[in-house]
Structure 1
Amino acid sequence: MTKLLMIQRSMNLKRNAGQVAFPGGLREEEETPDETALREFEEELGVDRSEVTILGYLRPEIIEEHEIFVYPVVGWLKLSEDYEFIPNFEVKKILVDELNKILSTRRMSEKGIIFELSGHTVWGASSRILDDMYRRLKQSFHENRYKTKEGYLK
């Protein structure tokens, strides 16, 4: 069963304190999006970057109020159920749940599309990134549903 990991940001942060987000942060000079994602994941959660396999990318997002571009990098992490993360000061809580359960909570609100994760609402840029994943998985499911050895069913 595939699970999704997000974090609740510390209440002591200047930006987006207490919000649910994907691990990540600002790019350092000369870093690629992959390098930034792996460094931030390691810093925030204490997981050695060599444990993460990069799978691909989702649509970039802009956070207009901060003039920040976000380049979502999707990674795979295979850990035991009892693995203990070592979160840093930026992380209040680590949130992990089954991907299909999270995606099934998708709904519209006054904030736009939102999702629920472990009793927390995912909204804003994080929900737009999650919605991109939802749409890609849904499209892939439907495309593969009608695929045969000879091609697609008509």
Structure 2
Amino acid sequence: MRLPTKKTRTQPWIRALQETLGTSEMTFPKLRHSAPNLSYGRHKAPSYPRARQAANLILIYPNEQGNWTIPLMIRAETEGIHAGEIALPGGRCEPGESAQQTALREFCEETGHQVSVPAVLGELPPTNVWASNHQVRTFVALERSLPVWSPDPCEVAGLIFLPLSHLMDPRNFGMHQVTRRRVQFSALHLNVDGHRVWGATLRMLVELGEALTSAK
């Protein structure tokens, strides 16, 4: 599947996704600040010239009850600066590998489930992760069958599952305090099964939520 260009990538596939999911009645909370305080909008600014390239994948599929769901992973405690955080499956691009190839490969390596190329609907705007100096490209895929999971215990402490309707409900969002290098700041989070999803992962999910309600 040929991905849309940068100028058009946020429209055609969103309409198709919206029609497929039946999201015409969905609304998304108006989140003015999905990024933590003190981030100064850097996640949308130009990346550093030496930023490392990475990619991840948002997979939407029906769970056992037929509800559209997104898998998230809990990073293993050995995963460096982002250890223990909730993330979308993904990782750094290897030499000669396209961003989409990276997203599909990393998703399979981390969750044990292989997503096919035709399942990829398109791409969300890229996100800069300044804490680890990465520019991350996020792809969205849709499947109609229930995956069989086999997460890699070296990288993944566990999987949690986010119903799409849960993402679209403003009652599931809140604020918390974060301390980094003796600096404290507030950050928006999404509550999922007792876990707080925040930071870059939340920004990517917010992009998806906004996309689902922006197409007419």
In the superposition, the TM-score normalised over structure 1's length comes to: 0.81
Residues 122 and 139 of structure 2 are in contact (CA less than 8 Å); yes or no, is this contact kept in structure 1? yes
**Matched residues in 2 for 1:112 and 1:138: separation?**
23
Residues 75 and 82 of structure 2 are in contact (CA less than 8 Å); yes or no, is this contact kept in structure 1? yes
Match of 1:102 in 2: 167
1:134 matched to 2:204: no
Match of 1:84 in 2: 148
Residues 37 and 73 of structure 1 are in contact (CA less than 8 Å); yes or no, is this contact kept in structure 2? yes
Aligned counterpart for 2:193 among listed residues 98, 105, 118: 118
Greater relative contact order, per chain length (Cα 8 Å cut-off, separation 6+): 2
Match of 2:53 in 1: none
**Matched residues in 1 for 2:124 and 2:93: separation?**
17
- Give the letter aligned to residue 148 of structure 2: E
Aligned counterpart for 1:93 among listed residues 158, 178, 192: 158
Number of residue-to-residue matches in the alignment: 139
Unaligned runs of 5+ in 2: 1-66, 178-185
**Matched residues in 2 for 1:7 and 1:103: separation?**
20
Q: How far apart are 1:50 and its partner, in Å? A: 2.9
Unaligned runs of 5+ in 1: 144-154
Tell me: CA distance 1:78–1:122, structure 2 relative to 1, closer, same or farther (3 Å): same
Match of 2:98 in 1: 32
**Matched residues in 1 for 2:202 and 2:162: separation?**
15
More displaced stretch, 116-125 vs 96-105 = 96-105
- Give the letter aligned to residue 101 of structure 1: H
Percent of aligned pairs with the same amino acid? 28
1:11 matched to 2:77: yes
**Matched residues in 1 for 2:164 and 2:203: separation?**
15
Match of 2:32 in 1: none
Residues 190 and 197 of structure 2 are in contact (CA less than 8 Å); yes or no, is this contact kept in structure 1? yes
- Give the letter aligned to residue 108 of structure 2: E
Deviations 1:77-124 (A, max 9, x none): 3333xx531111211111113111133123455543321222111111
1:62 matched to 2:137: no
Structure 1 residue ranges (4+ consecutive) displaced by more than 6 angstroms after TM superposition? none
More displaced stretch, 17-26 vs 6-15 = 6-15
**Matched residues in 1 for 2:84 and 2:118: separation?**
26
